[in-house]
Amino acid sequence: MAILITGGTKGIGLAVAKAFAPDAGAVFLNYHGDDAAAARAATEVSASGGTAHLVKADAGTPEGCAAIVASVGKVTGRLDQVVHCALDPYATSALAADPARFARAVTTNGTSLLFLVQAALPLLARGSTIFFLTSRGGRIVVPNYAAIGVAKALAESLMRYLAVELAPRGIRINAIAPAIVETDAVRTLFGAQAPDLVRDAASHNPSGRGVAAADYTALMRWLASAEAAFVQGQVIFVNGGANLSA
């Protein structure tokens, strides 16, 4: 088996990589710029039982996605899972956004899902699964989150269109929306407030705690299995019910 994770060397992407590593065998970790973090991630994935392959490229462009898949294709002829976690953490409100910077962030955070699926299609086969990491910010307004929230909403809609076209091929795509996790991206977006936001979300969660990596990685492992063969084109929240009330 083989899995490709864009943005796979940090945060949620790395947690997913380590969860799939024991069964995946080949784990392709895409990243954009932080070589030191990538080296650490490769060590952690190897310790988790997988064979890590680092792929440095920009997952936010068609050319970058093509380069990523070309690197994967040199090692394997099939991808069993593709997980799109790459994120451009441009913190801005809508009215204050620089138009060109906003457009670039929306492309990376949303439209690039299409670039990645198109590029990976020759390596996908019946039974392959695709995941997009989304968030509640695609449905509610979060301060300084416009460039990400708008893109997540776009990608969720795109995911549904892709699901209808991929289903006859036996390929599934779903979106996973975990509760807030303190990652580098979250710290970039919210600065010094990030730890407090994560703690506050946990303290107000109806289930009495914050999200743990196993909450969403276990779900993704199940969705990648034959048992979930009829789950297609869905957005699944993993947040203890935090999205159910104001």
Q: What is the pLDDT of residue 188?
A: 80
Q: What pTM, to 2 d.p., does this model score?
A: 0.93
In a domain, 203, yes or no: no
Encoding tokens for residue 89?
């953490």
In a domain, 13, yes or no: yes
Please give the residue range of the domain that contains residue 94: 2-185+213-238
From residue 32, how far is each of 58, 61, 65, 101, 115 by CA, in Å?
5, 11, 11, 17, 16
Is the pLDDT score of 17 beyond 90? yes
In a domain, 197, yes or no: no
* Cβ-contact 24, 3 below 8 angstroms: yes
Domain CATH code at residue 221: 3.40.50.720
Each residue's pLDDT tens digit, 47-72: 999 999 999 999 999 999 999 999 99
Each residue's pLDDT tens digit, 96-117: 999 999 999 999 999 999 999 9
Each residue's pLDDT tens digit, 144-177: 999 999 999 999 999 999 999 999 999 999 999 9
In a domain, 142, yes or no: yes
Q: What is the pLDDT of residue 102?
A: 98
Mean pLDDT of 82-105: 97
Each residue's pLDDT tens digit, 115-125: 999 999 999 99
In a domain, 202, yes or no: no
For the purposes of burial, counting CB atoms within 10 Å of the CB of 191, is it exposed (0-12), middle (13-18) or buried (19 or more)?
exposed
Is the pLDDT score of 38 beyond 90? yes
Task: Count how many domains the chain has.
Answer: 1
